[in-house]
């Protein structure tokens, strides 16, 4: 049985090494709510302040319009695993991670629990940036749905991603089976 809610997807010709990055309901609803709020402020501020404050009005309204626009550029659209790289698809570019230093990968829906954002976006159409929690320490997140989180442990850093099929994603990485540590 699928442990994740179904996503609304069109049938595709994606390869088995390509994965979508569906938004969780919370990220989608939160992103829409914040966008509507910021657009409302951008429209409402000019009507609520005196015309003599036009520099402040222009700056504030422009900032309210730019926040959703700039944030949307960083949204994760999907993941592709090649023989040598993990490619994270963004709106206008790709972020690449060499897989040569990948030590382990595991499905972990609790990876973002109690995580503190150190730099980045914590829920506005995703969790994208640098975070810290007790279990993982410092890590980078490129996550759109925390319930689908996969933790990738590289030699020098940890990365959390959220492909549409976490178990298949880990299988595609073709990592050696983890060995049990003594005393566990």
Query: What pLDDT, on a 0 to 100 scale, did the predictor assign at position 182?
Result: 44
Query: Does some domain include residue 167?
Result: yes
Number of domains observed in the structure of the chain: 1
Query: Does some domain include residue 13?
Result: no
Given pLDDT bands bounded at 50, 70 and 90, which one contains residue 178?
low
Among 171, 148, 4, 16, CA closest to 76:
148
Query: Does some domain include residue 10?
Result: no
Query: Does some domain include residue 171?
Result: yes
pTM over 0.75: yes
Query: Does some domain include residue 59?
Result: yes
Query: What pLDDT, on a 0 to 100 scale, did the predictor assign at position 16?
Result: 64
Query: What pLDDT, on a 0 to 100 scale, did the predictor assign at position 12?
Result: 46
What is the percentage of the chain residues whose pLDDT exceeds 70?
Answer: 86
Mean pLDDT of 80-101: 94
Query: Does some domain include residue 7?
Result: no
Helix (H) or strand (E) holding 20: strand 18-20
Residues whose CB is less than 8 angstroms from the CB of residue 133 and which lie 6 or more positions away in sequence, other chains included = 112, 113, 114, 115, 116, 139
Q: Are 112 and 143 in contact (CB under 8 A)?
A: yes
Q: Are 141 and 133 in contact (CB under 8 A)?
A: no
Query: What pLDDT, on a 0 to 100 scale, did the predictor assign at position 161?
Result: 98
pLDDT, tens digit (0-9, with 9 covering 90-100), for 131-154: 999 999 999 999 999 999 999 999
Task: Please give the backbone phi and psi of residue 160, each rounded to the nearest 5 degrees, phi first.
Answer: -115, 130
Q: Which domain, by its residues, includes 109?
A: 18-175
Query: Does some domain include residue 1?
Result: no
Query: Does some domain include residue 183?
Result: no
What secondary structure letter does DSSP report for 176?
P
């Amino acid at each position: 049985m699928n442990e994740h809610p179904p996503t609304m997807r069109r049938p595709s010709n994606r390869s088995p090494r390509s994965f979508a990055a569906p938004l969780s309901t919370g990220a989608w609803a939160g992103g829409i709510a914040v966008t509507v709020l910021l657009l409302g402020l951008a429209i409402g501020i000019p009507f609520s302040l005196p015309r003599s404050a036009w520099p402040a009005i222009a700056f504030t309204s422009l900032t309210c319009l730019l926040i959703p626009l700039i944030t949307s550029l960083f949204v994760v659209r999907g993941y592709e695993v090649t023989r040598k790289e993990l490619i994270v698809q963004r709106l206008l570019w790709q972020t690449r991670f060499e897989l040569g230093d990948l030590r382990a990968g595991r499905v972990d829906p609790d990876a973002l629990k109690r995580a503190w954002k150190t730099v980045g976006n914590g829920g506005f159409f995703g969790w994208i940036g640098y975070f810290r929690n007790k279990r993982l320490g410092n890590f980078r997140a490129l996550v759109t749905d925390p319930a689908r989180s996969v933790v990738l442990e590289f030699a020098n850093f940890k990365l959390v991603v959220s492909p549409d099929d976490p178990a298949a994603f880990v299988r595609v990485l073709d990592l050696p089976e983890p060995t049990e540590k003594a005393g566990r």
